[in-house]
A and B are shown apart, each in its own frame.
Chain A
């Protein structure tokens, strides 16, 4: 045999092997066939083993190279057949599995019984919205993808404004650089609402708007890059800082309970002036002072202030005739405080054992 190991012989051996593979009709058959060809006693393997008996070195080398080539061609043929068989096997499995959903006899089916649990963030959001509805606010919401105009410029954060850096913004690779972005707060809704109210002549506005926001925050026990905020906006005649303070106080008592109070302290938000941060009585120690509130008895909840004249200018509202306030805070943070959740990340794990508590 060894003396006959010509290129024709090798080509024949390869053709036989490939034909066998091509003839297979299932993955199992293919595996079987491939292992036959690769087995020690297959024709190709015997041919390889017989190389050692060739006396002529050049002939041995040439035949060896041809055999290696043949094995690699064979390997490709197996792979190609495998891919084809996988497609057809999936097709036939799917076909065997076919179910015509237009002729389902619905009455025979049991739908899971028991009661599910709404997500804690949803529950929190719903109860916050209910409080604001009761206080006379209309609930509305807007898109999560925004532009620099709504998220920044109309809110008195023009391009290059250093305070833009405070909002660790995620930009989208669409249009001009740093133009399309994921909103970093719910405040763009202020602009949408005011633009609409001006266009339709429907001032005053008393609105609460909640939704998902995004910031480049590495997740930790108190921060998630994807989070939820709720925002309030009141634009009317004769609205003052006293009304803002009153609304915050009322909302705090309504949501957290009558023994939780609110206080305001000066802060900076480009879209409000005067601006304030609002703190509430620590929900853990009820104002006595504990680790959570750094022994101050108060915890920060959100920001607020009188709508800045620059915002009125951006939407074309006369700041002498109209005045108003806005406030905003984190829904997730609210839930975290009310339920004393150690790690915010529990909220996105969707572990049923955690969810069933609420």
Chain B
């Protein structure tokens, strides 16, 4: 909201200290986004008359102009062309500094000296027009040498651009800002005086009727009638004020309506009474399917439920006395009753409309008008009478014969009841950490127009009708406390560093993520952040056939689905890095993936709907680690090695690689014959997957990585956090032997069906307690080994806790291991 200081000053005697005012407004929560110094920089600008225009040789964009500005001819170079000899234009002479800080100096262009600058409206900060010079030829009083501020009646002013929070509709007008500011600064606030103006003895009710059929939609309706209106321009000062506040002047009737809205916060709607059949208005809920053509020329259908939650399609409409819709209440009027040049009798509607109904209608019809925004936040039902009279007064300034009909109608006529809140002063101090007395609190409240009385530690507060944000009951206590704190100033409140006996601690998710990240960084991978919002088709891209989680109202189609896997996003990042000539790219990401409830995977049931009384099935979220390695000499085996490092780093007891014939979701997007699952050996739960990215996927979405093998490791962190699904190394330490160990290498020939794990288990078991470690160190297929079998060489390290193993013992163990192998079909080679 743009608030000119001159306008604010009509309500209290504010000082001219702009910095103080800005800081005070900020501290009140009326944050000043910008301060505009109006008229600054125009002091030196004068009116000049064009005397001569001639081309400059070699220049086709600028011309040489001779002007007279009261002190003899001046030569100037000018780029504009919208003027002729004899025209009057603004001249910024040498030495002037224009709004925005541009200084004018003597310049030489192609041998012509320019002694100043002829200005456009935008260069002077007087509008947006920068297409040509601001022409003053027709402006009354313009003569060469006159100051432009005098000619245009510009008075220096300061405009504060204030952001008003959604809960402060009372401050969304000049008088509201002034009230807060005056309250804080301890100045007297003057409310709008009720104007003395010519009245018509005809009672309003003789000329118009007003009826509210659905009072819950329209708690209060005011109707005034103005006779003998002459539609024409508003007074210059009023137009100027509207312009300063950011509204375009239109005619005296519309301007008066806008002025009242800006000043008092009450939107009003003027109708041409002659165009309203039977001269009356009725306010009611729209019937389903009813239509109206609004002022913007669009035919709107009303009363139809929308997509919004709990949106039953309630619209409030203004009808004529014959019940035909002539406007959408509080949002936009209809085309049929618009004010025009022939209007002589104006019916002014000033009402209060239900905020939620207005919000929904405005959203549903995508009609976001200034009035709708205000009614959505709540208006003051008690300001209606004042607003109507203020409107009449403003119209009368430029329409001298106008008369306001007596007894404007207000339904209901009784003033609205003020809400009462009981506020224990202890609660106020308990919330703020202060030690205010009731008297002090009441004094602060009184400055904002809250009436309060105190009895035994409890303050009874009567809430002004312009404060719909102050609730009743317990929430009201918090609301009143905020008002006390705000008027006192947040910076005056005490500060304390609280403490409690419970220690702080990271959660288990953070701890696990930290450990995973540590291993990833250790192998040289960097952490990426890819968007969770992806394009349609990503699920199919990685070879899954399930529903995508769709965003109903996405920013763009490319961001209209939730990711099902971290793989595509990460792969694209790899591709981009390779394109940018990064040679060795290893990226990982830890983040959530989303599974549609219909996919049969993880899903979640949770509270939803009005009062949280329903249950909604929402997509399952799974936290995943995904690592892609596009470094040199990398392949699926690297992924296996990394997975083993990771398992070791996380303290997992034993994670093994298991080939799987069916492609589950874990292996989606991986190379079908170079990928496998990671399984916890003790529980057989799938922990993740290893392998290479499917070359076809690489070609599709990361062509710069084509023909590279990209190793992939994916881990389901939700599984890792579940102690029933993974086994960790025991907490208890095992002491290590101090005696020398011996290595035994054994090569077995085993059928391909016999898994390495099974062999290692069997052979290891043969060594019993003496086994320190066992691992595969060679695989051989070829001459000497039967087709369908391979030679698997294992290295066993043997050690005893209490002695050095003798040759004889080693021989026994060796035989035992060979026998164990043979028992499962692995024959020593």
- Collect the chain B residues with CB atoms within 8 Å of residue A107's CB: 775, 777
Whether B166 contacts A112 by the Cβ 8 Å rule is no
Say whether A225 faces chain B, with CB atoms less than 8 Å apart: yes
Chain B nearest CB, measured from A96 CB (Å): 9
Task: Check A353–B674 contact: CB distance below 8 A.
Answer: no
Contact of A162 among B376, B482, B506, B550 (CB under 8 A): B376
CA of A223 to CA of B549 in the docked complex: distance in angstroms?
24
Considering only CB atoms and an 8 Å cut-off, how many residues of chain B contact the other chain? 145
| Chain B residues positioned under 8 Å from A140 (CB to CB) | 507, 509
* Min distance, Cβ A159 to any Cβ of chain B, angstroms: 4
A223–B564 CA distance with the chains assembled, in angstroms: 24
Binds B, one of A46-54, A58-66, A67-75, A114-122: A114-122
- How would residues 114 to 157 of chain B score, 1 for a CB under 8 Å from any chain A CB and 0 otherwise? 00000000000000000000000000000000000000000000
Q: Name which of A4-12, A15-23, A31-39, A270-278 contacts chain B.
A: A270-278
Partner of B527, one of A104, A116, A238, A275: A116
A174 touches B618 (CB 8 A): yes
- Residue with the greatest number of chain A CB neighbours at <10 A, chosen from B486, B514, B640: B640
Whether A138 pairs with B779 at a CB distance below 8 angstroms is no
- Of the candidates B359, B377, B636, B645, the one whose C-beta lies within 8 Å of that of A111 is B645
Cα–Cα, bound, A117→B524 (Å): 8
Quick check: A348 and B531 within 8 Å, CB to CB? Answer: yes
Contact between A177 and B552, CB atoms less than 8 A apart: yes
Which of B24-32, B105-113, B294-302, B730-738 is the interface stretch? B24-32
Give the Cβ gap from B543 to chain A, nearest Cβ, in Å. 13
Say yes or no: is A154 at the interface (Cβ < 8 Å to chain B). Answer: yes
The answer to whether A116 touches B673 (Cβ under 8 A) is: no
Question: B475 touching A310 by the CB < 8 A rule?
Answer: yes
Asked whether, in the complex, the Cβ of B673 is within 8 Å of the Cβ of A94, the reply is yes
Q: B228 interface residue, CB < 8 Å from A?
A: no
Tell yes or no: A163 within 8 A of B by CB.
yes
> Is there an interface contact between A116 and B506, defined as CB atoms closer than 8 Å?
no
- Cα of A137 to Cα of B500 in the assembled complex, Å: 10
How far is it, in angstroms, between the C-alpha of A94 and the C-alpha of B159 when the chains are bound? 72
Interface string of A283-316 (1 = CB under 8 A from B): 0000000000000000000000010111001100
Residues of B within 8 A of A240 (CB): 430-433, 496
Which A residues are in CB contact (< 8 Å) with B606?
A: 146-147, 149-150
Q: Which residues of the other chain, A, contact B644 by a CB distance below 8 angstroms?
A: 106
Q: A111-B642, A159-B610, A170-B553 known; A246 and B497 CB under 8 Å? A: yes
Complex CA–CA separation, A349 to B552 (angstroms): 26
Determine, out of B251-259, B340-348, B574-582, the stretch whose residues face the partner at the interface. B574-582
With CB as the reference atom, state the residue of chain B lying closest to A349.
B576
CA distance A319 to B474 in the complex (A): 8
Bound CA span A21–B499, Å? 82
Min Cβ gap A105→B in Å is 5
Chain A contributes a number of interface residues (CB within 8 A of B) equal to 122
User: Do the beta carbons of A350 and B573 come within 8 Å of each other?
Assistant: yes
Q: Is A241 an interface residue (CB 8 A)?
A: yes
Q: Contacts of B553 on A, CB cut-off 8 Å?
A: 170-171, 216
Within residues 167 to 197 of chain A, which ones have a CB less than 8 A from any CB in chain B? 170-180, 182
A120-140 near B? 1/0 per residue, CB < 8 Å: 011000100100111111111
Measured CA separation A265–B165 after assembly (Å): 12
Cβ B619 vs Cβ A309 within 8 A: no
| B481 at the A interface (CB under 8 A) | yes
Selected contact of A138 from candidates B507, B674, B691, CB within 8 Å: B507
List, in ascending order, chain A residues with CB within 8 A of B499's CB.
136
Q: Say yes or no for A233: interface residue by CB 8 A criterion.
A: no
B528 contacts A236, C-beta separation under 8 Å:
no
Q: What's the least CB distance linking B448 to chain A, in Å? A: 12
Interface centre among A109, A171, A276 (most CB of B within 10 A): A109
Q: Is the CB of B607 within 8 A of A355?
A: no
Does B485 reach chain A (CB closer than 8 Å)?
Answer: yes
In contact, B577 and A101 (Cβ under 8 angstroms): no
A-binding segment of B36-44, B196-204, B584-592: B584-592
Answer whether residue A57 sits at the interface, using C-beta atoms and an 8 A cutoff.
no
Question: Which of B490, B530, B629 touches A264 (beta carbons < 8 Å)?
Answer: B490
- Contact call A274/B612, Cβ cutoff below 8 A: no
B478 within 8 A of A: yes
Within the complex, the shortest CB–CB distance from A30 to chain B, in Å, comes to 19
Minimum Cβ distance to chain B for residue A266 (Å): 3
Q: Are B611 and A274 in contact (CB under 8 A)?
A: no
CB distance from B171 to the nearest CB of A (A): 11
B526 A116 Cβ-Cβ under 8 A: yes
Q: Which chain B positions have C-beta within 8 A of A204?
A: 500, 502
A159 and B309 contact, Cβ closer than 8 Å, known pairs A138-B504, A141-B507: yes
Residue contact B673 to A99, C-beta cutoff 8 Å: yes
Residues of A within 8 A of B672 (CB): 94
Tell me which of A110, A160, A351 contacts B308 (CB under 8 A).
A160
- Residues 642 to 668 of chain B near chain A (Cβ within 8 Å): 642, 644-645, 656-659
- On chain A, the residues within 8 Å of B490 by CB distance are 245, 263-266, 276
**Once the chains bind, are B493 and A134 in contact (CB under 8 Å)?**
no
**Are B696 and A113 within 8 A (Cβ)?**
no
B482 to A273, Cβ gap below 8 A?
A: yes
Closest to B359 in A: A162
Q: How many angstroms from the CA of A75 to the CA of B330 in the assembled complex?
A: 66
B778 proximal to A (CB < 8 A): yes
Docked-complex contact B510 and A101, CB < 8 angstroms: no
Chain A CB within 8 A of B15 CB: no
B618 and A180 within 8 A (CB)? yes
Structural contact, B691 and A101, CB atoms closer than 8 A: yes
Q: How far is the CA of A162 from the CA of B330 in the complex (A)?
A: 15
Could you jot down 22 A-B contacts, CB within 8 Å?
A94-B673, A95-B673, A101-B690, A106-B641, A112-B586, A114-B524, A116-B521, A135-B504, A136-B500, A145-B618, A147-B618, A149-B607, A154-B612, A160-B310, A170-B554, A177-B307, A177-B308, A178-B307, A236-B498, A240-B430, A266-B165, A268-B168
Q: Name A's B-contacting residues (CB within 8 A).
A: 90, 94-95, 97-119, 121-122, 126, 129, 132-141, 143-150, 153-154, 158-163, 165-166, 170-180, 182, 204, 206, 212, 214, 216-218, 225-226, 234, 236, 238-243, 245-247, 249-250, 263-268, 270, 273-277, 306, 308-310, 313-314, 319-320, 323, 347-353, 355-356
Q: Which 5 A-B pairs have the closest CB atoms?
A: A266-B29, A242-B433, A240-B433, A147-B608, A274-B482
**A99-B636, A352-B585 are known contacts; what are 10 more A-B pairs with Cβ within 8 Å?**
A104-B641, A111-B645, A117-B521, A171-B551, A180-B619, A214-B532, A246-B498, A308-B475, A351-B576, A351-B577
